Amino acid sequence: MKSKSRFFKAKNREAAEAKAAEYFGSTAKQLIFEVVSGEDDIECLLFAYSGTKDGLANLKGGFGLFYEDDGVFLELYAARGSGDPIDRIALAQHLVRKNIQRYDEAAVQNLVVAGSGRAKIGPAQQQYFFGEDISIEIPQYEMEAKVKILAPEPGGPPIVFDTAKQKLLNAGVAHGLDEGALKQLLEDKRYGESRVVAKATQPVDGENGKLVFHFHTDKKTARPKELEGGKVDYYSLDLYEPVEEGQLLVSRTMATAGTPGTTIKGRQIKQKPGKDATFPKGKNVLINADKTEMRAKSAGMVEYLYGSVNVSNIYKIDGDVDMGVGNIDFDGSVHISGNVLAGHVIKATGGVIVGGVVEASEIIAGGSVEVKRGMQGMDRGRIEAGGSISLLYIERGNAVAGGSITVDASIHSVIEAGESLIAKGKRGSIIGGRAIAANEIIASSIGSVSQVQTEVEVGIMPQKRTRLSALEKKTEKLLGEITKLDQLDAYLEKAQGKLDAETYDKLYRSGVENRRTYTETLEEYSAEMNALNEDLERATAGKVHVFDTVYGGTRIIIGTDMFKVHDDTPYATFKLKDGKVTYMSCEIKKG
């Protein structure tokens, strides 16, 4: 099939035009000519176009290959106007498929750089007519192979499946070949359309190990039981969960390794193995040999605090804690049916329940504390709990809880809740003193009509900041000790055979045991630090909700901003917005 444009060379323009007319089977007047070089009386190179002037003005870039008596010639036609440029990839593929003998690559490159013209790229030879072929594209990461079927010249033979498959194998495709897709591509004969015929096998990442807790690990609400008629039973609170001896507390599924993948060239793709869940520490529990089960060692109550599962026994005191009983320091929970008289100290790793009043005494509990009546602190009483605190009232006392604090009235006291502070009941008041909660404070009223100075704050508790700083220092020290163990290992490696066996064995065993202890301690520190950092991030999200009135003289602190209440403010929610404490209509409903 003749092209619509071509270069012609002759001794003069007239002769060149005659050659063009003969080639196109038309008269010279029907063609459009442009002189490339030469004059009428000098050898002339002429560009001839068979078409209209508009067609020439927007000529698409192209090429022509001509087998003549004196050699094989390549012609390039530059694009004009809105015509598409020369497809250099198609040109390169065409020249390769023509299988030109003694191919002059430099001549081709020079012509491509020039952008148009005519050049000899091979000696005279019989023209080879190519058949169908395929081009193969394999991206750098070898995740797939794409094949494009290339059209044959008129009369060229089709490509058969076995030939196409062998070409893929030769290109390095050793895995994931979809023979059905390749056959379909060859049958459809959609020339120039690229299809994926081979895909890598993706790796399957391993699954992380999991801990399954067979008891409720959610923090206890310390909410009193609501009775019919809107009444509240402040004596029945959600504080702990009982367990039986041998009861399954925690089970662990182990991580899986996963399966590696394979690229289409047969290279392995590494999978991400799962991570084993760290089995929690515990007190008064039994762990099986492969650390897949934790069971209660005795009957009691179970609590999950600071990443540790604790089963505590209960120490009961029928009556008051007075001089006849003395101070209490118990690894478990303490239940007191009467009062705690002034001057006593009660320490428990579990929870503490007091049936009566706590006077100017100190209660320190690892779990939750419930005082069924209240505290007359006389500026000396203190309650400190790792869990929640619930008491009817607190007057001139100090209460610090890792969880929530529920109270009917707080009067001239300092109370700090690691979660929420809820002042609800008949009064639901915070009057004087200071109240702090990490999450939110809910009260019927804050302050008093006499505008007694009252301060409330939501955000991170001061002792949590102190604890985080301490853990960071301890972690740094432990890492230093592990570095010393690395130095000991290096020394033992060099000294093996030089030290006596007893000394070497003693040093080696000591190093192994210390490394195990340090590593386990670092894991505990890391878990606690992560929890504390999450608390820090939530510090500015706290809110103060008041159902009745916030009285003048009250100061509300959220994050780094403080709001002074000058006028009594009813039914309001205080929160931080754009770095400033602001208030609006109360966001929650009473009850």
pLDDT tens profile 406-440: 999 999 999 999 889 999 888 999 999 999 998 89
Q: For residue 312, what pLDDT is reported?
A: 75
Non-local (6+) Cβ contacts of 325 within 8 A are 317, 319, 344
Question: What's the chain's length in residues?
Answer: 591
At residue 345, the pLDDT reads 93
DSSP type of residue 347: E
Q: What number of other Cβ atoms are within 10 A of residue 314's Cβ?
A: 18
> Which tokens is 37 given?
């070089």
In one-letter notation, the amino acid at residue 88 is R
> Rounded CA gap, 130 and 28, in Å?
34
CB 573 within 8 A of CB 586: yes
- Among candidate residues 530, 523, 220, 468, the one with its CA nearest the CA of residue 350: 220
**How many whole angstroms separate alpha carbon 77 and alpha carbon 89?**
15
Q: What is the pLDDT of residues 502-553, one digit of tens each?
A: 888 888 888 889 989 989 999 998 998 888 777 666 667 789 999 999 999 9
**Three-state SS letters, 56-102:** HHCCCCEEEEEEECCEEEEEEECCCCCCCCCCHHHHHHHHHHCCCCC
Give the C-alpha separation, 310 to 297, whole Å: 10
Burial pattern 400-426, b for ≥16 Cβ within 10 A else e, equals: bbbbbbbbbbbbbbbbbbbbbbbbbbe
Longest CA pairwise span in the chain (Å): 136
Cα(113)–Cα(90) distance, rounded to whole angstroms? 16
Give the pLDDT score at 234.
40
The pLDDT, as a whole number, for residue 300 is 73
Q: How many CA atoms lie within 13 A of 566 on its CB side?
A: 0
CB atoms within 10 A of CB 156: 16
Which residues, 6 or more positions from 420, have their beta carbon under 8 angstroms from its beta carbon?
404, 405, 437, 438, 439, 440, 441, 442
Sign of the CA dihedral with 262 first, then 265, 268, and 271 last = negative
Cβ proximity of 121 and 108 under 8 Å: yes
Contact by Cβ (8 Å): 321, 303: no
Which residues lie closer than 8 Å to 101 by C-beta, 6 or more apart? Answer: 122, 123, 125
Residue 447 burial by CB count (10 A; 0-12/13-18/19+): exposed, middle or buried? buried
Residue ranges, the chain, pLDDT below 50: 1, 222, 224, 233-239
- Per-domain residue ranges of the chain: 5-122, 133-199, 210-260+276-418, 464-537
Q: Tens digits of per-residue pLDDT, 33-47?
A: 988 887 666 788 889
- Burial environment of residue 379 by CB neighbours within 10 A (0 to 12, 13 to 18, 19 or more): exposed
Report whether 563 contacts 583 (CB < 8 A).
yes
Three-state SS sequence of 487-508? HHHHHHHHHCCCCCHHHHHHHH
Written as one letter, the residue type at 449 is V
Calculate helix-pair angle for 161-170, 179-188, nearest 10 degrees. Answer: 120
Residue 119 structure tokens? 């050049």
